[in-house]
Amino acid sequence: YREQAFFKPTVVDFEALLTLTTASMDIVYRDMVKTSFRNSTTTNHGSSRCCQESMVILDKSDFVNLCSEIAKMKTELEQIKNRLLVSRTDAKLHFNLERSRFTEQEKKLMEVRTEFRKMVRFTNKKTQVASLKTLLESLKLEKIRYLAGMYSRCFSDR
C-alpha cells in the first residue's frame, strides 16, 4: 500500500526536469564565465600596470649600471686588442728572425758542402797521385829486377 502513495514520474516530467536543469546550468555557466573573465581582465590589467611601473624604475637604474658595464667592457676590449697587437707583432718578429736564421744556416750548410766536396776532390787527387807513385815504384822495381836478371844471365852464360 505504501508503494501506491508515491508519485510515479512520466517521460514528460523527465523532459521538463532536464530542460529546467539545462537552462539553469547555462545561466550559471554564463555568469561564471563573465565574472571570471572580468576578474582575470582586471587582475591582468592591474598586474601589467604594476610591472610597467616597476620596469620603468628598474630600467632607469639598470640603464646606468649597463652604461658603466659597457664602458668597462670597452676598456677591457681595448686592452685585449692592444695585447693582441703586441703579441701579433712579436710573433711576426720571431717568425722573421727564425727565417733569417734558417737562411743563414742554409748558407753555412752550402759552404760546408762545397768545402767537403773540395776536400773529397783533393783527397781523391792525393789518392790518385799516391797510387800512381806506387805504380811507378813497382814498375821501377820490376825494371831493376829485369835488368838485374839480364845481367846475371849474361855473366853466368859466359
Helix/strand/coil (H, E, C) string of the chain? Answer: CHHHHCCCCCHHHHHHHHHHHHHHHHHHHHHHHHHHHHHHHHHHHHHHHHHHHHHHHHHHHHHHHHHHHHHHHHHHHHHHHHHHHHHHHHHHHHHHHHHHHHHHHHHHHHHHHHHHHHHHHHHHHHHHHHHHHHHHHHHHHHHHHHHHHHHHHHHHHC
Q: Which domain holds residue 26?
A: 2-157
Q: Greater confidence, 83 or 49?
A: 83
**pLDDT tens digit sequence for 13-72:** 777 778 888 888 888 877 777 777 677 777 777 777 777 777 766 667 777 787 888 899
Q: Record the pTM.
A: 0.37
Number of domains observed in the structure of the chain: 1
Looking at residue 23, its pLDDT comes to 82
